Structure 1
Amino acid sequence: MPKSKTHRLPSAMLLVGGMFTAAVVLLTLLARHLYWTERRPSTGLIMVVAFDWAVAAMVVSMILVSLTSGRGRRTAKARRGRVTVELQESEPRRTTRLTGPGAEMAASADIKVGSRLPALFLYAASAGLAAFVIWFHLDGQSTWIGTGFSLVLAFYVGNWARNAWPRPETGS
């Protein structure tokens, strides 16, 4: 049986936040490129701007949660040993197995949201995105498809805000 070790891992918020911050930078560069190269009205430009806006709002709300909320439960486990991976193909019906040395890792982080600030920020980001998208469309810069997609994304950011609202304590 493989040995199980607990390793000290960087905070999940730091890892995920770093990846999303890199995505914000790349999406901003893509939006800049599309702004200078696409003809107007554009579908892709407003979609990239809206997605960039939503991801940036998520990064800022993650930072606000980590600054204003209490620490939750964190677990991480890593296991090394012999593993088997199965690949099942439908045409032709066959199963391929690959066995050899491998590693398995699982981690989780539970954070109790203790402040309304992240939710309020997400509500503001949602309203700002919706206003920007409508202005961009009225200015003739985006198509109906891009505008519709971006407004749906603004709705989802508002839904994130609803889910980020702190829940009252329930006594057991």
Structure 2
Amino acid sequence: MPKPKPRRLPSAMLVVGGAFTACVVGLTLLARHLWLTEHRPSTGLIAVIAFDWAVAAMVVSMILVSITSGRGRRTARARRGRVTVELQDSEPRRTTRLTGPGVEASGSADIKIGSRLPALFLFAASAGLAVLVIWFLVDGQSTWIGTGFSLVIAFYVGNWARNAWPRPDAPEPEDPSP
């Protein structure tokens, strides 16, 4: 009897990147809707644009890392069978267990960053977002609260860039294959 082929699970980068790309599309559509319907200074519009910009920058930097870096360690596991889920309620203290057929899946990807390109892109994205946010404030389309909130997001994108800078002392990811 032939052995069944093992099912190949998608790469963790592909799954996470696909989910974040779907978020970018949704946030872009929401930003477009707010752009067309808001006719006064808006906090929500600039906040949605800032989130959309940050998530899009993260997706592009993930693509740049996967293109410019070597293969790292990847793991993906799936198990079918009997699964137990525990639900804990704080008031009154009780635990409910649900047991039945199900699927358990986990995955991870460790990649050593081998290029400065993703970090430089994130620095540029951070600066571009800050300029856009300030332009929205000067143009009268954003409130001070929305501007401050969005500048904080631009700061975080800049921090991602600092963390994406390649480190020469970082150890190589181990290959778990036997």
Q: 1:20 and 1:95 mapped to 2: Cα distance?
A: 34
Letter of the aligned partner of 2:130 in structure 1? A
Match of 1:86 in 2: 86
The TM-score with structure 1 as length reference comes to: 0.91
For 1:28 and 1:150, locate their aligned partners in 2 and report how far apart those are by CA, in whole Å.
Answer: 16
Superposed CA deviations along residues 88-142 of structure 1, whole A, max 9, x for unmatched, are 2122222212122222111111111100000000000000100110111011110
SS in 1 for 2:113: coil
**CA displacement at 1:75 relative to structure 2:** 1.0
Structure 1 residues not aligned, in runs of 5+: 1-5
Q: TM-score, normalised by structure 2?
A: 0.88
What's the Cα RMSD here? 1.6
Q: Which runs of 5+ in 2 are unaligned?
A: 1-5, 172-178
Aligned residue for 2:40?
A: 40
Identity across the alignment (%): 83
Whether 1:151 aligns to 2:165 is no
How much does 1:61 deviate? Answer: 0.7
* Cα distance, 1:20 vs structure 2: 1.2
Helix, strand or coil at the partner of 1:115 = coil
Match of 2:174 in 1: none
In structure 2, distance between residues paired with 1:94 and 1:12 = 35
Q: 1:159 to 1:96 in 2, by over 3 A?
A: same
Cα offset for 1:143?
0.5
Match of 1:74 in 2: 74
Q: Helix, strand or coil for the counterpart of 2:167?
A: coil
CA distance in 2, matches of 1:125, 1:142: 20
| Aligned 8 A contact 1:119 1:161 in 2 | yes
